[in-house]
Amino acid sequence: MPVDRAPQCLTVLAPILPGRDASLRERLRAIGDDINGKHLSSAGSRPDIAFVRSRRIHFARLAILNDPDRGPGRARLLFASVYDGGLDAHLDELVSITSDMDALWGACEGYPGVSGFHSFITAHAHDADAYYVAFRDETAASITSSVAARRQRHAQQDAAEQSLDTSTNTSKASGLGSLFRAIVTAVKRSVRGVPIVADVVRAVLRNGFGNVAYGTLRITASLNRYTVFRILNWITRNRIPPRKSSFSSASLDQCSPVTALAASDEIPAEATARAPAFREDAVAQNQLTLVTVVDPARVDRVRAVLAGIDSYAKRLAPPGSLIGISTIHFVRWLLIDRGRRLLFISDYDGSWESYIDEFAEMILSGLDAIWETSYGMPPDGARDYPAFKRFLRSHQVPSDIFFAAYPDATVLNVMADRAR
């Protein structure tokens, strides 16, 4: 069986020393405001992370989250990245592109200095419970190279017209190449799908048959556009439950400060961290980070749902599409704090509004299956668009730094480049 060389994800949550979060946020914001390092020379000796020098990182973000388990006013640093190759090489590169590691990571408890950075990161890293990669066989370098080649082709096409014969020959060659790639892709997907039976067995042993069965039916309830799920839903009489109300449960006041939506709910980041914005719509891609509080009685249920999503994403999802959604580059869910909270991290194309609308349209029941286990989810789930969007915004964490290696390349762009 071939080795899976898909890009890996790293998620680190490191506690920040008391009273150091404000100064750390200021330093991170300065880096995030100049993510390409264009104004570094005029910024004095401030710390910098030169992400543009990286050859391994697809996406990266840093953000400051509340850390309620450590007490009021405490905070923690989130570092999330998607990278090619091994973890050690990724961390070595991160050190090499950071001008002053101590000025940034020194704000975290237990940071031992650059010499112990690897062990520090490993101690605070969390494994993803579900992880989706749009293109498992593409590296950051291969995508950026394809983007450069496409720009060069466009420039050449604008400069001169090609002859009919040349176009015809190119078209024939391109067709044969596309057919060959389609066959190779089909074989790879078949091989990838073999371990799915073992995935199901592990999920049942860990979370119980009832939770796995419930989670599967909950996810597939709105997927009747796929024949296999339509048959499953017909056999099991699986349906989306009727709405509890024809009216939205969202508050009419959408301008007031964000507050907890229910008892036991939490706000994941301080209000001061929300200024100036969520770093959205600056490039073709956006990022979304959410933290919700999970009902302790339903932790095994959401873990079973995530296991199903993870298995599908790894074994069956075709390149560039997660259940029909072709705007997601990478997405991951993690149960953190011993299952008390659910962390969601996504890198996607387009606006926040269009992303949420597409999610709600294409995998409505899947959204409900995931977040109905969290406090504050609307009674009618994602079908109540205004309330669901309010739920997401209330639990969104602003990223102080967001880096994209190929900021102008959408998932559809990459798919088109792969087809050539």
User: Mean pLDDT over residues 67-84, rounded?
Assistant: 96
CB < 8 Å & 24+ apart, contacts of 376-381: 376/260, 376/261, 376/262, 376/265, 376/292, 376/293, 377/292, 378/248, 378/249, 378/250, 379/244, 379/245, 379/249, 380/243, 380/244, 380/245, 380/249
For the chain, what percent of residues have pLDDT higher than 70?
85
Q: Among 79-93, 132-146, 260-274, name the one with the lowest average pLDDT.
A: 260-274
Residue 200: per-residue pLDDT: 84
Q: Evaluate if residue 274 carries a pLDDT over 50.
A: no
pLDDT at 77 > cutoff 50: yes
Helix, strand, coil percentages in the chain from 3-state DSSP, rounded to 5: 45, 15, 35
Read off the pLDDT band of 40 (50, 70, 90).
low
Confidence of residue 187 (pLDDT cuts 50, 70, 90): low
CATH code of domain 196-399: 3.30.70.100
What does the pLDDT average to over 175-201?
68
The closest of 40, 30, 20 to 105, measured between CA atoms, is: 20
Q: Say if residue 176's pLDDT is above 70.
A: no
pLDDT at residue number 412: 93
Q: What is the pLDDT of residue 2?
A: 47
Model pTM above 0.75 = yes
Please give the pLDDT value at position 230.
93
> What are the residue ranges of CATH 3.30.70.100 in the chain?
196-399
Q: What pLDDT is attached to residue 99?
A: 93
What's the CATH number of domain 8-133+408-418, 2.60.120, 1.20.1440, 3.30.70, 3.50.30? 3.30.70
